[in-house]
Structure 1
Amino acid sequence: MPEIKERPILFSAPMVRAILEGRKTVTRRAVKFPFIDRAAGCELSGNEIGPEEIRNNCPYGVPGQRLWVRETWYCDHFEVMRGPYLKPDDLDIREALDDGTLVYAADGLTPYEADQPIWKPSIHMPRWASRILLEITDVRVERLQAGEGETAFESRYVAEGINRIHQGDGDYAFHPFKSEPGPGSWTDPFDAWRELWVGINGAESWNANPWVWVVEFKRVTP
């Protein structure tokens, strides 16, 4: 049986928490044009993409392939701290997770609350330190703001990890980061999605309404 192809993907701490809690099952990433059609060997622009080009050329993979998550991390092992982040022969991953030798910023600082770890950027996380593995279930392309006007019930953006906050009497508010009632929440998931995108990519990217890869996934056992 052929080996399943895996690729790394970066997620911020709030999105890591959303994945771990089962709230995030999709990610949207801007399409960078032009890109090369792998089958035809030619460049494609935004006016030329169709279902097959989308499925075959997504840089994050195709359904059935996997993504291993890179997140901000720290490993209290002298060989790891000095780089280049190769896995030491004497490091047992399960034990390192249990005793706090290997920790993740998304989880807070326990058990190192007294001594602030010098966090390693997510881009420097090696495969062996990753704790989250995702299987791609679908890939498509759409405009960033394609779901504007959808009701809160049907909004496609809740699956981005948007918090659905119960306000009482059957009312809900939405926020990309906060999970408790309070100021700054939105009545429309679309607005919470906009806040999330702008926080990562900037207002200019939002206003441009670019084409985005829509990568749906499910979490699987590493």
Structure 2
Amino acid sequence: MKKIMFNDKFSLTQAVLEGRKTMTRRIVTYPLKFRGVNVAGYFVCKRPSGEVTEICMYDEDERMIDGGQILPKYKVGEVVAIAQSYKDLGYDPDSLDRDPKDLGIRGFMKHSAGWNNKMFVSAAACKKHIRITGVKCERLQDISEAECLKEGIEEHLKGIQYGFPSNIGYIGQYPFSNPREAFSALIDKVSGKGMFASNPYVFVYEFKLID
């Protein structure tokens, strides 16, 4: 089983666990080299293929350079574990009952590398899961306002308190006048400054919390 990580600093894992976040966008990454040759420029096209969308990359001479496709990591119907630290998962800190794939120091759970860092917790040790219900590929800026809310942006009913003309604002990290502004600020915090403006291709995963 695979696991998926959500940002804890901006409470995105909690939003998933509460059922408020049901969609996530992951930047499509391309290889910097192909058969040892640096690829300075490339063109990208997308085409549907069954239940997934293939991303095909071509060089300046229109030669396919990615072997034919860059596929999404998760597929429709796949069950994926939500990554959390052992501490957040509620394990006993003084327990010796450790997951065998944990890379931490052998000993008490509280001394484990995964006690505070979910990167070192295997999917098998995670207790909460989602099922992927939809996969598509698009540019980051193609997101709709309705999808911004699925990404965990919250409607806030104290807009006037923050200086907005209406009583509704939207929360990413700070209040904004519409969901799109809130999402663009959030994705820049999570994925790097200027990410929304750069408008990269993203895989869009829609999911449902199942336990």
TM-score category, normalised to shorter length: 0.5 to 0.7
Q: State whether residues 176 and 196 of structure 1, in contact with CA within 8 Å, keep that contact through their aligned partners in structure 2.
A: yes
| Partners of 1:143 and 1:25 in 2: CA distance | 19
Query: Whose relative contact order is higher, 1 or 2, with alpha carbons under 8 Å and at least 6 apart?
Result: 1
Kindly indicate whether the alpha-carbon contact (under 8 Å) linking 1:134 and 1:217 is maintained by their aligned counterparts in 2. yes
Alignment pair present for 1:120 and 2:116: yes
Q: How does 1:40-51 map to 2 (within 5 A)?
A: 47-51=44-48
- Does 2:77 align with 1:64? yes
Which residue of structure 2 aligns with residue 164 of structure 1? Answer: 155
Task: Give 5+ residue unaligned stretches, structure 1.
Answer: 1-5, 36-44, 87-100, 103-117, 178-183
RMSD, aligned CA: 3.1
Contact 2:86 2:118 in 1 (8 A): yes
Higher mean C-alpha displacement, 134-143 vs 120-129: 120-129
1:219 correspondence with 2:209 = yes
Residue 155 of structure 1 pairs with residue 152 of structure 2 = no
* 1:55-94 aligned within 5 A: 55=53, 58-74=71-87, 75=91, 76-79=93-96, 85=102
Matching residue within 13, 18, 22 for 1:16: 13
Contact 1:165 1:174 in 2 (8 A): yes
Count, aligned residues: 167
SS in 1 for 2:168: strand
1:59-90, CA deviations, whole angstroms, 9 ceiling, x for partnerless residues? 3321111211112332414536797539xxxx
TM-score by length of 1: 0.64
Query: Which ranges of structure 2 fall in alignment gaps of 5 or more residues?
Result: 33-41, 55-69, 104-108, 161-165
Which residue among 179, 185, 197 is the counterpart of 1:207? 197
Cα distance in structure 2, aligned partners of 1:194 and 1:210: 13
1:44-66 Cα deviation digits (max 9, x unpaired): x7523212184465433211112
